[in-house]
Amino acid sequence: MRIDRRKFLQIAGLSGIGLGLSAADGLFKGKALASGAHSLPSSGTRLAFVIDVNKIEGEDGYRRIIEACHKIHNVPNIPNTKHEVKWIWTDSYEHSFPDQPNEFLPEKIKEKPFLLLCNHCDKPPCVRVCPTKATFKNPDGIVVQDPHRCIGCRFCMAACPYGSRSFNWVDPRNYLDMKNINPDFPTRTMGVVEKCTLCPERLARGLEPACAEASNGAIVFGNLADPESEVRKILNTHYTLRRKPEIGTQPSIFYVIGGGENAG
Amino acid sequence: MLDRALKGSKTYWTLVIILLGFISAGSLAYLHQFKNGLGVTGMSRDVSWGFYISQFTFLVGVAASAVMLVIPYYLHNYKKFGRIVILGEFLAIASVTMCMTFIFVDMGQPMRILNVILHPTPNSILFWDAMVLNGYLGLNLVIGWATLHAEKKGTPPPAWSKPLIYLSIPWAVSIHTVTAFLYAGLPGRHFWLTAIMAARFLASAFAGGPALLIILALVLRKYTKFDPGREPIQSVAKIVAYAMVANVFFIILELFTAFYSNIPGHMHAFEFLYAHGNLVPLMWASSVLAVLSLILIIPPKFRENESTLILACISIFISLWIDKGFGLVIGGFVPTPFNTITEYWPTLPETIITLGVWALGFLVLTILYKVAISVREELGTAGPPK
Amino acid sequence: MGIFFSFFMVILLVLIAYFGIAAAGLHTLFGIIIPYAAFVTFCIGFLLKVIKWGRAPVPFHIPTTCGQQMTLPWINYSKLDNPSSTSGVIGRMILEVFCFRSLFRNLKTGLNNGNISYASDKWLWLAGLAFHYSFAVVLIRHLRFFLEPVPALINTIDSLDGFLQVGVPHFLLSGGVLLIAALYLFFRRTSNPQVRYISLPADYFPLFLIAGIALSGIIMRYISKVDIIKVKQLTVSLAELKGNAPEGIGTIFFIHLFLICTLLVYFPFSKLMHMGGIFLSPTRNLPNDSRIKRHINPWNPEVKVHTYEAYENDFREKMKGAGIPVEKE
Amino acid sequence: MYNGSKIIIGLIIFLAIATFPFYSNIGKSAGVPMPDTNTPVINGLDKKECVASAEYMKKEHMKVLDEWRDEVVREGKRDVINVGGRVFEKSLQNGCMQCHSNKSRFCDECHSYAGVKPYCWDCHHFKEGRI
């Protein structure tokens, strides 16, 4: 666990902020100037990831990140792709950004895997459609899925434009090595929806989300609402992509595509 | 009146027992699904709604179609519908029962179904759908039962039923509009993201539901003493014809927008459905049947001939069942958000459960129709009007 | 009048249990002695009542029930409503006991422009069905307190009853249905003037008592909880005839228990005996075979019969002499 | 008695049902379960104190857990509970079970005695003797 004191305080601080605020005003809060414009939350916290595609070191790098997440969250490894549960995974540019096709893309990018996960949208459609408030938005920007409340109607899966949500079609425990699961984290039950949680249990302890920690700096985690944050600094200096920006969900996951440190 | 359902001919009891057989098979299959999870169905991470929700969507239309009889009879005082309006109301009860059962069997955690009421979420269309469906079921139960009861007693319908009947008219529209909104409000699902969705739903509902009603009325006439007379059936047929024309027109509008604009996302679902998915034969069958049905129902010569009329109605029902009870939901999920194709086909347990739910609906319908017709037979009003 | 009397009787019972435990601490009395006494009263009272009924002679088969009785072969007769065989009677009994067929027939008469109209009235039947079936489920699932280990079947019934995950612990549907049905039956007695006129404290009291039992049970499970392990310790000890009442069970439990004991004691002496009586009602348990079999009243004295034939034999000659026509020469 | 045999058979059935608990328990009786607090962690404490009194927890633990889960998952109130200097995490797995590491003795015995089947363990898991 390599984490310096400054970073610790930063994360501990921002995860603390806003948690005390009421979560009730999830839906239509934040009047933007125009519907497409960006809004910053009143709580002063909006957690986000910036993923630098070029900094992930090959196959191993991706696998390390995915395993870091799936291992600590007891995400089952289900061979049948129809029943798959995945919190973070990779796919090609073509599949990750189907709305921005470019047949003349550099070969390097065409073949590059992109890390995909819940976008923790600022205006999440999944939250809008959930009939039981099982999924909702925290004041700090995390889109939370409460498996205790979920009735398994899968409306959120129809609503999510990013395919970020997984349903437990089968009992996940049949696909977990129950002897070697993370004893500190629950598994899920059959018939509920789950997805990336952005590791609130780690944030509470002042740790970064597991994927960011395992990424050797390729995934930068921080507060978008803070102009001094590292994520903002990268966004200021790099051209970044987001998935399906035109539908106005305002994802909080940014992809740095260009040439690493020197670009921008 | 319910006791009328307990006395019947051999045919009636055979039908009831067959339906009960299907229901039992469906229940057993559901227990299997309950124990092993929705993984026993053909649904997947990418196609996360399947047969159940599409049947529900289709049947909401059938339920809403009762309004096509209620409006002429109660609003325009079209007396000739007096005999069949109860058939429409009871069909609505059976359809809504099926809708709710389909939603129930689709739940991953059916034990928590009451969370929808315990944690009401007005921003969710599904919450509203649950509300309007329950309301519509209640309205039709109360109205249908009260009017039939009054008929049996030889009294005019109770005064309080009038406002409820008027309320049921917009309510019927609302159930299908809200159901269309389930789909039409989702960003990133191009096939569904269309302002015309609710209108399409209503058009298909007002074609499919009354078409089924004509089939049912003709079947009843053959096997029971019930006979609504020729004219009301012809009037319903005209409603079906207009609605089906509107429905086909709306589909053409969708096709035009998708293909003339040439926006890939808008075209993909149609390409999947009509060109390279496993639903291709079904979707083409739906389209061919739709055209065929128009040929059979628009020219008065065919429409007025009851043997071609029933063919037209069967074509319409099957065409719309494929279109709404299959293509609509699957086409929305495929292509996936990743622009990939994941095929869907219902599995055996899923099919048995679906059949079981349909059987449940038809059992409810059989019992309700049996009661209505028995009451009329006793009153001597089941036969053709003089 | 009867309403308030019955209501305050139930309140009084609640107060007796409350003060008996909270003030006087009579755990053994309320936890052991009264339950045993009540149970013994219930069983013996039930037996004696049924035996008393059994000693009354059955007057005659009663054909005037419902439906066409068996007559000529080409006339359809109603096999279940008016049976002529034992198997038909068993069928009618099953329908009566499990489906409340008599109530299902209930009609409501009304006046409509001077004409009498008949309307079906299924609410009493429906509420009665809901009441009795939910009571049965409540009773069966209470076996978990008396049996150790708890049989799997009882666990299954319990989890089906709490299928809907509402609240912690899960709300058991049967309890709610029982309470609502009891309240409906009370509402029916008071809202309908005719029914109200014929209602007595004996009608209201059991309703209030059962509603009180259901309500105290619901309160005990969801609001003012008690130590359930100690409760079971007590109930199992009762079943094992050991009878020791552990300290520290909430008073609400003893209120619940005392109301149940009252119900048990009251049962054999009240209209609740229809539970046994249903099997002895002559219009339900007798086949309509009065034209097939000769019925001889059991209390009839021996009657000396002198037939006309014998009479003529005795007096033939005299009759002939008097010119009276005789049948046999 | 008229129809005596039938009535007596009926009464015997009635008595058999009514007294079922009395004879079905014979020879089966298991002892009364006592929530066992004999675990290494608890034994190592000088002051044995939980988040609430045993009396309260016996009756309300399900409610406490239900409230915790809403507070933690839904409201983000992950702040720990401090009882006399000892901190407790609001968690079944990472709170309760850290001390009460004997699930079969501490949870299951009473639950099966009372015929209760909580579904907590469908997701939250516990391996005996982990700590």
Stated as kind and residue range, the H or E segment containing A237 is helix A230-237
Chain A: give the shortest CA distance to residue B83, in Å.
Answer: 40
Average pLDDT over residues C299-313: 87
Strands A253-256 and A47-52: parallel
pLDDT band at residue A154 using 50, 70 and 90 as cut-offs: very high
**Which residue of C115, C117, C163 is in closest CB contact with B111?**
C163
Q: What is the DSSP letter of B108?
A: S
Q: Is the pLDDT of residue B32 over 90?
A: yes
Question: Does the beta carbon of B110 lie under 8 angstroms from any beta carbon of chain A?
Answer: yes
Which domains, and CATH codes, for chain C?
2-322 (1.20.950.20)
Q: Is the pLDDT of residue B283 over 90?
A: yes
pLDDT band at residue A36 using 50, 70 and 90 as cut-offs: very low
Cβ atoms within 10 Å of B381's Cβ, excluding its own: 14
pLDDT averaged over chain B? 92
State the pLDDT at residue C23: 87
Three-state SS at C16? helix
Q: Which structural domain range is residue D55 located in? A: 50-122
Query: Do C170 and C162 form a contact (C-beta atoms < 8 A)?
Result: yes
Q: Is the pLDDT of residue B298 over 90?
A: yes
State the pLDDT at residue C1: 66
Stated as kind and residue range, the H or E segment containing C3 is helix C2-18
Encoded tokens for D54: 């045993």
Query: Do A187 and D125 form a contact (C-beta atoms < 8 A)?
Result: yes
Report the alpha-carbon distance of residue C92 to residue C82 in Å, rounded. Answer: 8
Burial of C305 (0-12, 13-18, 19+ CB in 10 A): exposed
CATH assignment of A5-262, given 3.20.20.80, 3.30.70.20, 3.40.1670.10, 3.30.70.100? 3.30.70.20
Q: Is the pLDDT of residue A260 over 70?
A: no
Report the alpha-carbon distance of residue C51 to residue D1 in Å, rounded. Answer: 7
Q: Which amino acid is at B83?
A: R
Phi/psi at A254 (5° precision): -115, 140
Query: Which of chain B's residues have a Cβ under 8 Å away from the Cβ of A131?
Result: 115-116, 121, 124, 126-127, 130
Query: Which of chain C's residues have a Cβ under 8 Å away from the Cβ of D115?
Result: 144, 150, 154-155, 158
> Which is nearest to B149 in space by CA: C110, C100, C115, C114?
C110
**Looking at chain C, which subunits does it touch, using at least 3 CB pairs closer than 8 Å as the criterion?**
B, D
Greater model confidence, A10 or C72: C72
Number of domains into which chain D is organized: 1
Measured between CA atoms, the residue of chain D closest to residue A182 is D125
Instruction: Look at residue D105 and tell me if it is in a domain.
Output: yes
State the pLDDT at residue A9: 47
What's the helix, strand, coil split of chain C in %, to 5?
Answer: 65, 5, 35
Cβ atoms within 10 Å of A110's Cβ, excluding its own: 13
Cβ neighbours for B62, distance < 8 A, ≥ 6 positions apart: B91, B92, B95, B205, B208, B209, B212
Query: Which of chain B's residues have a Cβ under 8 Å away from the Cβ of C119?
Result: 149, 152-153
Phi/psi at A222 (5° precision): -175, -170
Strands D81-83 and D86-88: antiparallel
pLDDT band at residue A66 using 50, 70 and 90 as cut-offs: very high
**ipTM, two decimals:** 0.87
Q: Which of A37-51, A134-148, B337-351 has the lowest mean pLDDT?
A: A37-51
Cβ neighbours for D63, distance < 8 A, ≥ 6 positions apart: C168
> Which is nearest to B348 in space by CA: B41, B34, B25, B53?
B41
Q: Is the pLDDT of residue C64 over 80?
A: no
Burial of B226 (0-12, 13-18, 19+ CB in 10 A): buried
Report the alpha-carbon distance of residue A181 to residue B323 in Å, rounded. Answer: 45
> Which is nearest to A151 in space by CA: B117, B112, B126, B124?
B112
Three-state SS at A107? helix
Positive or negative: CA dihedral B309, B312, B314, B316: negative
pLDDT band at residue A106 using 50, 70 and 90 as cut-offs: confident
State the pLDDT at residue D126: 80
pLDDT per residue as tens digits for the range D44-94? 888 888 888 888 898 899 999 999 999 999 988 888 788 878 888 888 888
**Which residue of A19, A148, A188 is in closest CB contact with D76?**
A19
Distances in Å between the Cα of B303 and the Cα atoms of A199, B288, C127 are 65, 18, 49
pLDDT per residue as tens digits for the range B369-384? 999 999 988 888 877 7
> Which is nearest to A175 in space by CA: A61, A86, A90, A68?
A86
pLDDT per residue as tens digits for the range A157-192? 999 999 999 999 999 999 998 888 998 899 999 999
- Provide the CATH number for the domain formed by B2-379 in this structure: 1.20.1630.10
State the pLDDT at residue C149: 86
State the pLDDT at residue B118: 93
Q: What's the gap between Cα B376 and its chain centre?
A: 26
pLDDT band at residue B153 using 50, 70 and 90 as cut-offs: confident
Distances in Å between the Cα of B29 and the Cα atoms of A191, B44, B354, C280 are 17, 19, 10, 43
Question: Does the beta carbon of D125 lie under 8 angstroms from any beta carbon of chain A?
Answer: yes
With CB atoms and an 8 Å threshold, state whether B111 touches C104: no
Positive or negative: CA dihedral B242, B243, B247, B250: positive
State the pLDDT at residue A70: 94
Chain C: give the shortest CA distance to residue D89, in Å.
Answer: 21
What's the helix, strand, coil split of chain A in %, to 5?
Answer: 30, 15, 55
pLDDT per residue as tens digits for the range B99-134? 999 999 999 999 999 999 999 999 999 999 999 999
Report the alpha-carbon distance of residue B150 to residue C120 in Å, rounded. Answer: 11
Q: What size, in residues, is chain D? A: 131
One DSSP character per residue, B227-246 reads ---HHHHHHHHHHHHHHHHH
Instruction: Look at residue D117 and tell me if it is in a domain.
Output: yes
Question: Does the beta carbon of B330 lie under 8 angstroms from any beta carbon of chain A?
Answer: no
Average pLDDT over residues A86-115: 90
Instruction: Look at residue D19 and tell me if it is in a domain.
Output: no
Average pLDDT over residues B277-291: 93
User: What residue ranges do the domains of chain B occupy?
Assistant: 2-379
What's the per-residue H, E or C state across B200-212?
A: HHHHHHHHHHHHH
State the pLDDT at residue B18: 97
Q: What is the DSSP letter of A83?
A: G
With CB atoms and an 8 Å threshold, state whether C168 touches D66: yes
Distances in Å between the Cα of A95 and the Cα atoms of A117, B45, B232, C215 are 13, 16, 55, 59
Q: Is the pLDDT of residue C122 over 70?
A: yes
State the pLDDT at residue A25: 40
Q: Print burial letters for D80-106: b (CB count within 10 Å at least 16), e (below 16).
A: eeeeeeeebbbbbbbbbbbbbbbbebb
Strands A219-223 and D86-88: unpaired
Cβ neighbours for B140, distance < 8 A, ≥ 6 positions apart: B66, B89, B90, B92, B93, B96, B168
Distances in Å between the Cα of A140 and the Cα atoms of A146, A254, C50 are 16, 17, 72
Encoded tokens for B142: 């109360």
Average pLDDT over residues C193-207: 91
pLDDT band at residue A35 using 50, 70 and 90 as cut-offs: very low
Percentage of chain A exceeding pLDDT 70 = 81
Encoded tokens for C180: 């609502």
Query: Which of chain C's residues have a Cβ under 8 Å away from the Cβ of B104?
Result: none
Q: Which of C41-45, D30-34, D94-98 has the lowest mean pLDDT?
A: D30-34
User: What residue ranges do the domains of chain A occupy?
Assistant: 5-262
With CB atoms and an 8 Å threshold, state whether D76 touches A201: no
Report the alpha-carbon distance of residue B134 to residue B96 in Å, rounded. Answer: 8
Report the alpha-carbon distance of residue C251 to residue A71 in Å, rounded. Answer: 50
With CB atoms and an 8 Å threshold, state whether A130 touches B121: yes
Q: What's the gap between Cα D113 and its chain centre?
A: 8
Cβ neighbours for A142, distance < 8 A, ≥ 6 positions apart: A47, A120, A197, A198, A200
The alpha helices in chain B, defined as continuous H runs, are 10-36, 51-64, 67-70, 85-106, 115-118, 125-153, 161-184, 197-223, 230-261, 264-271, 280-297, 300-304, 306-322, 328-333, 348-379
Report the alpha-carbon distance of residue D127 to residue C92 in Å, rounded. Answer: 57
Q: Which of A18-22, B177-181, B276-280, B318-322 has the lowest mean pLDDT?
A: A18-22
State the pLDDT at residue A190: 94
pLDDT band at residue C144 using 50, 70 and 90 as cut-offs: very high
**Which residue of B44, B116, B336 is in closest CB contact with A132?**
B116
Report the alpha-carbon distance of residue C5 to residue C199 in Å, rounded. Answer: 13
Report the alpha-carbon distance of residue A253 to residue A251 in Å, rounded. Answer: 6
Report the alpha-carbon distance of residue B329 to residue C135 in Å, rounded. Answer: 44
Q: Is the pLDDT of residue A37 over 50?
A: no
Strands A114-117 and A143-145: unpaired
Encoded tokens for B204: 């298909």
Cβ neighbours for D45, distance < 8 A, ≥ 6 positions apart: none
State the pLDDT at residue C96: 92
What's the helix, strand, coil split of chain D in %, to 5?
Answer: 50, 5, 45
Average pLDDT over residues A193-215: 92
> Which is nearest to B282 in space by CA: B352, B331, B215, B217?
B331
Percentage of chain C exceeding pLDDT 90 = 53
State the pLDDT at residue C121: 83
With CB atoms and an 8 Å threshold, state whether C164 touches B3: no
Average pLDDT over residues D7-13: 94
Instruction: Look at residue D80 and tell me if it is in a domain.
Output: yes
State the pLDDT at residue A10: 54
Three-state SS at A178? helix
Q: Which amino acid is at C175?
A: G
